[in-house]
């Protein structure tokens, strides 16, 4: 291995007592490939097995915690104990390859397609529309429903423990329910769950507290807890970097294992609420001041991309699209073959890369999501 990449492969101890064997993490990415009953498919198992060997930790695609929280077709479920054997298949597959297995838990809120939730009853913090995918106006959750969803996060965490996962990542990013409660754009409530910034924080922090309570009660070995967040929203009254600094401070007090900032590009800069000349991740890392580990992500494809990211001082680097395109990313860097790492995907590579069909279809059809080799695509069309 080229020594300049050695920092990527240093072990990293987390607060929970778990030590990651290196600093490279497989980021969560929805794969749309579970069965209709919410159980995982064989294609998903092969997909995880192919990518879990080299990384220190695998964060799964998000699992929904209550029936009205399903956000995607082909999403796997954590809503009942009947799902534990399915969840165990994922955890065992990842751990057998030598990585820590972390389950991402979530509720879609107003981002849920109505055809995927009972009675088409889409819910959120408030009845604010503008879902770019459905245009549906959600129903504002009642107090007892909010408490039920909080318990749902806890119960899914218990199931993750019983299924053999090494931790959970609370999904508070990407416009889903936890973010909907924190954003002044989507939370217009006047009760204890909304209004001031501090009250808008109440729901995400209640979920964190419930997950921590369940882990303390049920985990008989070290079990990690992470939290993923999006640092900004494009809406006029949406989350700003200033709001994110307050969120980061509140989460740091919860003594989690890590915070995972959701970014399309690792080096992106703020829109508002912070210094526009410095990257978001640099300023978040500065705000954390070592209180909790930070995980960075976003358009990291090459070994040099990852080295530059780790040199910012961020201790953990997540690969999403990069490790889907190049399942042997870690092994190639460790073996000094980093020049062989693929950074684009060929349209004829699905079987070789062991990517489930529904995910592959979206990779090929959603413009700009994955770097697809256009020349190869044109060649295939003329054959």
- Over the stretch 192-219, which tens digit does the pLDDT of each residue have? 999 999 999 999 999 999 999 999 999 9
Length of the chain: 383
Q: How far apart are CA 229 and CA 48, in angstroms?
A: 23
b/e burial code for range 358-375 (CB count within 10 A of at least 16 → b) = bbbeebeeeeeebbbbee
- Residue 378 pLDDT level (bands cut at 50, 70, 90): very low
pLDDT given for residue 135 in this prediction: 75
User: For 110-123, what is each residue's pLDDT tens digit?
Assistant: 999 999 999 999 99
- 176 catalytically annotated: yes
Name the least confident of 204-213, 238-247, 249-258, 372-381. 372-381
Q: How far apart are CA 339 and CA 360, in angstroms?
A: 25
Collapse the DSSP code of 200 into the 3-class scheme (helix H, G, I; strand E, B; otherwise coil) and give the result: helix
Going along the chain from its start, the domains and CATH numbers come out as: 3-343 (3.20.20.70)
Statement: residue 381 has pLDDT above 50: no
How many alpha carbons lie under 13 Å from residue 187 in its C-beta half-sphere?
Answer: 29
H-assigned helices in 52-175: 84-96, 143-163
pLDDT given for residue 120 in this prediction: 96
In this prediction, residues 180-189 reach a mean pLDDT of: 97
Statement: residue 25 has pLDDT above 60: yes
User: For 135-157, what is each residue's pLDDT tens digit?
Assistant: 789 999 999 999 999 999 999 99
Q: How far apart are CA 182 and CA 189, in angstroms?
A: 11
Statement: residue 379 has pLDDT above 70: no
Statement: residue 292 has pLDDT above 50: yes
Collapse the DSSP code of 35 into the 3-class scheme (helix H, G, I; strand E, B; otherwise coil) and give the result: coil
Q: How far apart are CA 259 and CA 26, in angstroms?
A: 15
Q: How far apart are CA 296 and CA 282, in angstroms?
A: 10
The answer to whether residues 231 and 284 touch, using CB atoms and an 8 Å cutoff, is yes
Statement: residue 383 has pLDDT above 50: no
Mean pLDDT of the chain: 95
The answer to whether residues 28 and 59 touch, using CB atoms and an 8 Å cutoff, is yes
Q: Which two tokens stand for residue 260?
A: 């995972």
The active-site residue out of 47, 48, 176, 301 is 176
pLDDT given for residue 374 in this prediction: 80
| Predicted structure pTM score | 0.95
Statement: residue 132 has pLDDT above 70: no
CA distances from 189 to 44, 132, 196 (A): 39, 22, 10
């Amino acid at each position: 291995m080229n020594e300049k990449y050695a920092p990527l492969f240093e072990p990293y101890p987390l607060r929970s007592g778990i030590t990651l064997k290196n600093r490279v993490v497989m980021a969560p990415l929805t794969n749309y490939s579970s069965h209709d009953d919410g159980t995982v498919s064989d294609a998903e198992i092969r997909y995880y097995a192919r990518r879990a060997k080299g990384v220190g930790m695998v964060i799964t695609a998000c699992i929904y915690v209550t029936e009205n929280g399903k956000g995607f077709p082909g999403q796997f479920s954590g809503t009942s104990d009947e799902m534990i054997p399915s969840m165990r298949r994922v955890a065992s597959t990842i751990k057998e390859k030598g990585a820590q297995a972390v389950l991402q838990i979530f509720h879609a809120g107003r981002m849920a397609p109505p055809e995927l939730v009972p009675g088409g009853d889409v819910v959120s913090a408030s009845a604010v529309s503008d879902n770019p995918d459905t245009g549906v106006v959600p129903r504002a959750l009642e107090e007892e429903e909010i408490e039920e969803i909080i318990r749902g996060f806890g119960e899914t965490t218990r199931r993750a423990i019983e299924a053999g996962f090494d931790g959970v990542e609370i999904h508070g990013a990407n416009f889903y329910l936890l973010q909907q409660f924190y954003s002044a754009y989507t939370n217009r409530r006047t009760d204890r769950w909304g209004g001031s910034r501090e009250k808008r924080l109440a729901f995400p922090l209640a979920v964190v507290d419930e997950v921590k309570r369940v882990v303390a009660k049920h985990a008989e070995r070290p079990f990690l807890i992470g939290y993923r967040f999006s640092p900004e929203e494009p809406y006029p009254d949406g989350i700003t970097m200033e709001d994110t600094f307050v969120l980061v401070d509140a989460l740091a007090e919860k003594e989690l294992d890590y915070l995972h900032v959701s970014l399309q590009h690792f080096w992106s800069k703020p829109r508002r609420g912070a210094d526009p000349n410095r990257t978001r991740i640099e300023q978040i890392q500065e705000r954390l001041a070592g209180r909790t580990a930070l995980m960075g992500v976003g358009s990291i494809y090459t070994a040099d991309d990852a080295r530059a990211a780790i040199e910012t001082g961020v201790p953990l680097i997540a690969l999403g699209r990069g490790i889907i395109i190049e399942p042997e990313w870690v092994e190639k860097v460790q073996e000094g073959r980093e020049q062989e790492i693929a950074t684009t995907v060929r349209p004829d590579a699905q079987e070789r890369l062991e990517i489930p069909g529904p995910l592959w279809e979206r990779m090929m059809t959603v413009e700009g999501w994955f770097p697809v080799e256009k020349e190869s695509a044109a060649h295939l069309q003329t054959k």
